Homo-oligomer: A and B are copies of this chain.
Amino acid sequence: MIECNGGVNMKIAFIQMKVVSDKNLNLYRAKRLLIEAAENDSDIIVLPEMFICPYNNDYFLQYGEVINGNSQTIKMLSNIAKERKVYIIGGSIPEIDNGKLYNTSVIFDEYGEIIGKHRKVHLFDINIKNKIKYFESDVLSPGDKATIVDTKFGKIGVCICYDIRFPELVKKMANEGANMIIAPSAFNMVTGPAHWEIIARSRALDNQIYFGMCSPSRNLESSYTAYGHSIIADPWGRVINELDENEGILYSEIDFSLIKKVREELPILKQKRNELY
């Protein structure tokens, strides 16, 4: 779907799926929802952070995969991308590499080829008394680069959850030409209500790009309760679409010409005084 005269350029789908403790059930559910999204004419389909396993340090090694053509998850995602001719931003999975674990998003083009891989750069370490304590860095290793993929819809940046709290990373991707940044994410019931929407909107506004976050649905039986509310904001900082906490697919039609329009109207990117900062 490309109509580049200020209309719709692309349709993106965020799969806000329920993640449970059974890996095969998660993969089955992801596959079913990917097919549903593809059948609804999506061009790019996004899965949430850690969609194959509970978000819990104790599970990452057990559910983890070496990323190659024999990996169970990679095979499934690649096949769907190829069969359905869709791009897939494959949420994230625990990646095993040389005895280390990473929180990794694998991105596929419409031929099922891997076109990018983002290892979460900023590990989520938080300690709010009586509310939430979580140290991802206890078991995971961080990635060491920003990730931008080339698609037929232009450059798209990919980062993961806590990465979005770092405006420098987002700015770097936007400066390098990303018109849209997608973050498979899983905020919780403390940080979600407080910061989820404002981060989506402000990263979009400050960089005059589209910015989206795809979450698992809220599963109250899980040790880590995701906030849900998959969301996408436009270059004017507006929420153009958001889910509630339940399982569902968020479809958004994207008009990339809005980026040019906003950048002409409010030329903040040109007006930066980089010599002063």
Contact = CB atoms under 8 A, between A and B. Distances in A.
A266 B128 contact: yes
Contacts of A271: 122-123, 125, 166
B201 A198 contact: yes
A276 B237 contact: no
Interface stretch (A8-16, A78-86, A168-176, A219-227): A168-176
Interface string A189-223: 00100110011011001100000000000000000
Interface in A261-277: 264-268, 271-274, 276-277
Interface residues of A, number: 42
Given A165-B268, A205-B195, A171 B277 contact: yes
Nearest to A202: B202
Q: How many copies does the complex hold?
A: 2
A168 B274 contact: yes
Interface string A180-191: 000000000001
B268 A166 contact: yes
Contacts of A27: none
Interface in A100-142: 121-123, 125-129, 142
Given A165-B268, A264-B127, A277 B172 contact: yes
Shortest 6 CB-CB contacts between residues of A and residues of B: A202-B202, A168-B277, A128-B265, A172-B277, A165-B268, A198-B201
